[in-house]
């Protein structure tokens, strides 16, 4: 892992002899506890044997802040070529403003599973830390987050605040939001609520929304029907396919709570093709309040997430990590936006 020692000893020589990366050597020599004690001691012993001394000027230069944040989007399947979920695209504006207010520069790129993000940005001093948006299947993504934490990378991400414990995650009250959506549908006289979206550890935010909906049903004395839950990722195509499966299964339903607006928009198309009216036959609720939600026919009732607050909170959380201080509260409230797809009025 590096090069064989030659001439005046360097941190790369220590890395070669210790069998670690050069950034690990740098962190170990400055006492960073993200490196295990055994590894720190081994690196320090090799440094002593080589009579290695830290270049104070270079060390001082490296320790300076870049005042730059790297924003990395996870690629999502989209009907256009953006490969960015519209919800996260809307969040970009609030993150940009939050950075501008703090006189921070913003680098924007895509996060790929095979890349070493800490090396590309923080360890190379291109950025003081990372903001991560989106993740796909969380069971595959979780290992990357644990590795970032182990390596001492400063990061903040949008996601499920209960799915990991690094203190770096900002997210909505998904359980409360699901309960809000379920209670609204029950108030409209609906009793057979379907849920479109994964309801397991692969997509923890969706799972919390589903559990919240089930709790609303239980509060009303209605038993949730697990047969009315159908998996879907956040695309119109998946929402359409999941709704087709729901209809073909033959289980009666009079409402759908979709885990995202894109899923709901796909569901609306499938319902129309099956001759089912919205909201007459099926009431429909989405999640996110993306711009397209108010443009559907009928306009979509949905759960609005605090996009402005999310951008501000993500930037502040990351800076708290960089500056080694306590960060802000990590959970944001949601709001029910009532439109015609549930047959209710905004005043209900």
Considering only residues 106 and 81, tell me which one the structure prediction assigns the higher pLDDT. Answer: 106
* CB-CB contact of 109 with 72 (8 Å): yes
Nearest-CA neighbor of 127 among 321, 313, 327, 309? 321
Tell me how far apart the alpha carbons of residues 302 and 259 are, in angstroms, rounded to a whole number.
10
Quote helix, strand, coil % in the chain, to nearest 5: 45, 15, 40
Tell me the pTM: 0.78
pLDDT per residue as tens digits for the range 60-80: 444 567 899 999 998 776 666
Structure confidence by residue, pLDDT tens digits, 30-43: 777 778 889 999 99
Whether 341 and 301 have beta carbons less than 8 Å apart is answered as yes
Query: What's 299's DSSP letter?
Result: P
* % pLDDT > 70, the chain: 90
pLDDT at 53 over 90: no
Average pLDDT over all residues of the chain = 88
Evaluated on CA atoms 55, 57, 62, 63, the torsion sign reads positive
In the chain the beta strands, taken as DSSP E runs, fall at 68-74, 105-111, 129-133, 155-158, 169-172, 193-196, 229-230, 255-258, 283-288, 301-305, 331-332, 334-337
**Using CA atoms, how far apart are residues 223 and 220, in angstroms rounded to an integer?**
9
Pick the closest to residue 71 from 159, 134, 147, 150 (CA basis): 134
**In whole angstroms, what is the distance from residue 66 CA to residue 104 CA?**
9
The kind and range of the H/E element at 222 are none
By C-alpha distance, which of 316, 329, 264 is closest to 94? 316
**Displacement of CA 288 from its chain's centroid (Å):** 13
DSSP bridge partners of 183: none
Burial class (CB in 10 A: 0-12, 13-18, 19+), 89: middle
| pLDDT at position 28 | 84
pLDDT tens per residue across span 166-203: 678 999 999 999 999 999 999 999 999 999 999 998 99
Residue 269 pLDDT class (50, 70, 90 cuts): very high
Q: Per-residue pLDDT for 51 more than 70?
A: yes
């Amino acid at each position: 892992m590096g090069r064989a020692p030659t001439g005046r000893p360097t941190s790369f020589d220590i890395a070669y002899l210790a069998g670690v990366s050069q950034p690990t050597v740098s962190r170990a020599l400055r006492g960073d506890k993200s490196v295990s004690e055994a590894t720190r001691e081994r690196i320090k012993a090799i440094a002593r044997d080589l009579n290695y001394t830290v270049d104070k000027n270079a060390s001082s230069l490296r320790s300076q802040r870049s005042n730059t944040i790297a924003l990395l989007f996870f690629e999502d399947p989209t009907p256009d070529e953006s490969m960015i979920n519209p919800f996260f695209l809307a969040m970009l504006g609030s993150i940009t403003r939050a950075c501008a207010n703090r006189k921070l520069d913003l680098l924007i790129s895509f996060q790929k599973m095979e890349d070493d993000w800490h090396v590309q940005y923080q360890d190379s001093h291109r950025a003081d830390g990372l903001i991560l948006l989106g993740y796909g299947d969380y069971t595959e993504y979780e290992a990357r987050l644990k590795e970032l934490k182990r390596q001492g990378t400063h990061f903040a991400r949008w996601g499920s605040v209960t799915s990991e414990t690094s203190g770096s995650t900002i997210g909505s009250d998904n359980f409360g939001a699901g309960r809000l959506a379920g209670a609204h549908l029950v108030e409209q006289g609906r009793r057979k609520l379907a849920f479109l979206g994964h309801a397991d550890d692969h997509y923890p935010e969706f799972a919390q929304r589903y559990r919240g909906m089930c709790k609303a049903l239980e509060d009303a004395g209605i038993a949730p029907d697990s047969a009315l839950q159908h998996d879907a990722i956040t695309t119109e195509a998946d929402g359409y396919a999941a709704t087709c499966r729901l209809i073909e299964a033959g289980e009666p339903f009079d409402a759908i709570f979709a885990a995202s607006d894109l899923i709901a928009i796909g569901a609306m198309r499938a319902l129309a093709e099956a001759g089912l009216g919205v909201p007459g036959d099926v009431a429909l609720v989405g999640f996110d309040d993306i711009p397209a939600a108010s443009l559907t026919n009928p306009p979509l009732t949905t759960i609005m997430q605090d996009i402005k607050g999310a951008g501000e909170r993500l930037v502040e959380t990351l800076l708290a990590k960089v500056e080694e201080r306590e960060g802000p509260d990590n959970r944001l409230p949601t709001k029910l936006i009532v439109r015609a797809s549930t047959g209710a009025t905004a005043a209900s």
